[in-house]
Amino acid sequence: MALKINLKPGERIIVGGAVITNGKNATSFLIENNVPILRQKDILTESQANTPCRRIYLVVQLMYIDGANLTWHHNTYWSLAKGVVKAAPSTLPLIDRMSDLILDNHYYQALKVAKKLIEYEEEAVRHARRATGNL
């Protein structure tokens, strides 16, 4: 079954590792085979990966779209995950779920858990700022 993609003017998408930027007009197209696809709203750039959990998201994203360097991405993930759990043990349930998905090669689903990890991190930072009076 084909996947229909609708793109807004100027919207970016990654299809099978290729970054595609739409032109001035809205467009739609069909993807008829199974390839990694990330819409602009799900793409995190290296410069945006400025927190530990965002770096985890980035490396899982790379696992999903860059299978040629999977061993390197896996090694980076395990190192980052270990550091996050050491710094914030309360992240362990999310890290465990993401790790299980990664071990099963379900990278897109792992990205969804990584988004939850980023949300958790952002809430923890907000909570810490409120507790110290640094709003």
Distinct helix (H) and strand (E) counts, the chain: 4, 5
Query: 125: how many CB neighbours lie within 10 A of its CB?
Result: 11
pLDDT tens, residue by residue, 100-129:
999 999 999 999 999 999 999 999 988 888
The percentage of the chain sitting over the pLDDT mark of 90, rounded to a whole number, equals 84
Low-confidence ranges of the chain (pLDDT < 50): none
* Mean pLDDT (the chain, rounded): 94
- Whole-prediction pTM: 0.91
Residue spans of the domains in the chain: they are: 3-40, 46-132
